[in-house]
Amino acid sequence: MRTLCLLLILFPAFAGAEEAAQNSPLAEGKQRFETHCGICHSLALPKSQRLDRATWKWVIDDMVNEFGAVWLTAEDQRLILEYVVKHYGPE
Ligand code: HEC
């Protein structure tokens, strides 16, 4: 568990550092998405989806409430939602 915590703290430094440097909400969302959404399954799983906002909201809720991603704060969830809606939307 301690190792996991350490990884969670250190990993954002590497994930999407370039975009995060711009410090925009979408860059933050990308960073959090890449940090958290590939822990239990490959990032390829969410990246393979094309979902609308309501469905993404539901998926993220599910990750937290059904599958145990309970460390994600409301802020994490909000920023990740904005990012996936933009990049993995229906189009
Ligand atoms: C705590 C572990 C965990 C984390 C963290 C996690 N997921 Fe999942 N996710 C799962 C599990 C378990 C499944 C497989 C469910 C199944 O087999 O039906 C899954 C499945 C999915 C699916 C496939 C659709 C579905 O509902 O089965 C998508 C899309 C997805 N996750 C997106 C995400 C995103 C986006 C994040 C980041 C917010 C995330 N996951 C973080 C555990 C996790």
pLDDT tens track for 35-90: 999 999 999 999 999 999 999 999 999 999 999 999 999 999 999 999 999 999 99
Lining residues, ligand 1, CB within 6 Å: 36-37, 39-41, 45-46, 49, 59-60, 62-63, 67-69, 80, 84
Checking if the pLDDT of 5 tops 70, the result is no
Say if CB 60 and CB 78 are below 8 A apart: no
Say if CB 51 and CB 90 are below 8 A apart: yes
**Quick one: which of 87, 81, 29 has its CA closest to 54?**
81
Checking if the pLDDT of 19 tops 80, the result is no
The pLDDT, as a whole number, for residue 42 is 98
The pLDDT, as a whole number, for residue 23 is 74
> How many CB atoms neighbour CB 11 within 10 A?
15
Instruction: Tell me which of 1, 4, 41 to substitute to probe ligand 1's pocket, judged by most ligand atoms within 8 Å of the beta carbon.
Output: 41
Residue nearest to atom 8 of ligand 1 (CA): 63
